[in-house]
Structure 1
Amino acid sequence: MFSRRAFLSSTTAAGATALVPPLRPTPARAQGYPNNGVRIIVPFPPGGATDVLGRVVAHHLQGLWGQTVVPEYKPGASGLLGARQVIASPADGYTLMLASTGAILSVAASQGAKPGNYNVTRELAPISLVAAPSYILVVNPSVPVKNAAEIIAYAKANPGKLTFGSSGAGTASHLSGALFAQMAGVDLQHVPYRGTGPAVNDLLGGQINMLFSPPQVVTQHIAAGKLRMIGITGAERSSMFPDFPTIASTGLPNYSSVGWFGLFAPAKTPAAIVRKISADTATILALDDAKKRLTDAGAEPAPNAPDVFTTFVNKDIAKWLGLAEKANIKLSP
């Protein structure tokens, strides 16, 4: 489906290289990309799902390119701080971002975007989807519920007492909980964190009751009996977790919510560079080691082309902006 551009060389270019230091590629020289180190901004703290996937992508791109590829963590404001740093970076392909739903939604909300009028390409160049797993609703074992129906009954009997954490305002973990509360007609107290990792820690410690979490960071705690699995957020059972029921099937019909993770560059990054990174991302995600590491983390590789990813992002952001407007949810920090 994808093919990498062949590198071009000429005696003239070779002579020029001998006379001057290597330069970062211009659009005309995109075939030589990358000829320098690349950084991948992760707009959330270490320990969360974005971190896990970012490290896999960085590791294998470094192996493919023969250049240093380093994840850099820039958390804050539900991913907005890291996203803004990428938006303001040179559009040369040497600063990328491994972002989730929430980081892009934070960008849109900070601009006052409304459903249907946000276009991600004004600030960022979508490169490729990496994964789009269903989330898992988990609770601290001290909460006396075992399925969605029991959560709803408990919440109605104890209005305002159940808390759910998230990786930040406007993130997929926040919106998954907001959608649950809206559809169930219950009052759940939202507690935002600066990433999924800190939220999981507080859930384990009993400071919060519930979390809609990417599988990558809670499956080991479910297996150890430290967290109780309620169900997955997708409309259908996951092939990766065939024994996990859907939330829709255990008490909240028609409920469905998924998170996603993808690779971005600053807007106006040369199209040739964007296409190359996208093709190379598809190449590394097809490697057995990458597939195993993603599978172990609860995610399946799902690379796609830049135009397909752009359409996907704009449609998904419009959906969540619509929910926020309808439910009066504040998305911008």
Structure 2
Amino acid sequence: MIQRRALLGAISLGAAAPAAWAQTEAFPNRPVSMVVAFPPGGQADVVARPVAAALERLWRVPVPVQNRAGAAGEIGNGAVARAAPDGYTILMALSSVVVLPEAAKLFGRAPAYTLDQLQPLALVSADPVLLAVPAASPWRTLEEFIADAKRRPGEISYSSSGNYSALHLPMAMLAAAAEIDMLHVPFQGGAPALTALVAGQVQALASGPGPISPHVREGRLRVLASWGARPIAGFEDVPTLLSKGFSGVEYYIWCGAYAPAGIQAPIAQRLRQGLAAAAADPDVVRALNAAGSAIDHRDGDAFARFAAADAERLARVVQRIGRID
């Protein structure tokens, strides 16, 4: 009897294996949703749309971008963390994805998701953020901006994509390094934060190059500084904060793709292969270059190591900011 049960079990497993393989071979055979945890027009959205279009051409299935904004990215990130790990829901995340669970600890609440609920697939881009101000503002240099902020503590306002978000942390780093006090005005995403700056509702914004580049070209915004290690393409004349003598202020806003943890390895591999192909797609490269961004593709484990190191570094920034009530 025991031998018969073992034989039946082996037959069952043997039958299941080809079925699972066939399912993997057919993947994807229906739409793959790409979630962006912010409104349209922000950095993650700027990256997600050309990548999704490239995946549609490759897989011949729709790859709709779904903007699920709210709580500085927690809502969309958490939705993907809880999604079925079947490969049909993926996240195009901003760097704040590794920060928000740490921020939740400040409030003594359970985070909307934890990092072990998300499996890194591929880094797509990593750009230093830029300090942008209205072109009509009185500041033409970083030094003028900082001097004015010191004269008027708490009066110069800046927008962000939410508390502890990818656009909040760099300004908090600058404020600590320059010993200035500014008024933080959080929004539900990078696009409304940028709209507020262009409309003159706030006076400064730290942003990836993509969203602000058209406004800089059209003369509505001026860029005073970069959080990068070196000048970036299209903004070669913009000084870095490091070159101005500030330490501990290097910061990059990166976009990377994640799947829900528990996804089958062959399906994760298919997703990673698709993302690698998209990163090399000439249309994607052109779209990101036109937006002032650049491809920085890192696959699987390399992306996981990159994100883990950034999470550790940025956790210290979150702890320094402290609880925001």
TM-score under structure 1 length normalisation? 0.85
Structure-2 residue corresponding to 1:128: 122
Report the CA distance between 1:328 and its aligned residue. 2.1
Structure-2 residue corresponding to 1:172: 166
Does structure 1 residue 138 correspond to structure 2 residue 132?
Answer: yes
The SS at the match of 2:90 is: strand
CA distance in 2: counterparts of 1:110 and 1:295, whole angstroms? 35
Structure 2 unaligned segments of length 5 or more: list them.
1-14
Q: Could you say which structure has the larger radius of gyration?
A: 2
Structure-2 residue corresponding to 1:261: 255
> Which residue of 16, 28, 33 maps to 1:34?
28
Between stretches 147-156 and 172-181, larger displacement belongs to: 147-156
CA distance in 2: counterparts of 1:126 and 1:111, whole angstroms? 22
Structure-2 residue corresponding to 1:285: 279
Structure-2 residue corresponding to 1:8: none
Report the CA distance between 1:169 and its aligned residue. 1.2
Does structure 1 residue 158 correspond to structure 2 residue 152?
Answer: yes
- Post-superposition Cα deviations, 1:101-139, rounded to whole Å, max 9, x if no partner, equal 12342234335699xxxx965110110001001111101
Does structure 1 residue 44 correspond to structure 2 residue 38?
Answer: yes
CA distance in 2: counterparts of 1:137 and 1:291, whole angstroms? 24
Q: Note if contact 1:164-1:209 (Cα within 8 Å) is conserved in structure 2.
A: yes
Written as runs of structure 1 = structure 2, the 5 A alignment for 1:53-72 is: 53-72=47-66
Structure-1 residue corresponding to 2:141: 147
> Which residue of 191, 195, 199 maps to 2:193?
199
CA distance in 1: counterparts of 2:129 and 2:261, whole angstroms? 29
> Which residue of 232, 243, 247 maps to 2:237?
243
CA distance in 2: counterparts of 1:187 and 1:109, whole angstroms? 21
Report the CA distance between 1:89 and its aligned residue. 0.7
RMSD (Å), alpha carbons: 2.3
Note closer, same or farther for the CA distance 1:253–1:317 as it changes in structure 2 (3 Å cut): closer
- Post-superposition Cα deviations, 1:154-197, rounded to whole Å, max 9, x if no partner, equal 11111110111111111121000000000000101111111111
Note closer, same or farther for the CA distance 1:237–1:77 as it changes in structure 2 (3 Å cut): same
Report the CA distance between 1:308 and its aligned residue. 1.1
Structure-2 residue corresponding to 1:94: 88
Structure-1 residue corresponding to 2:5: none
Q: Note if contact 1:120-1:314 (Cα within 8 Å) is conserved in structure 2.
A: no
The SS at the match of 1:172 is: coil
Report the CA distance between 1:211 and its aligned residue. 0.2
Aligned residues between the structures: 304
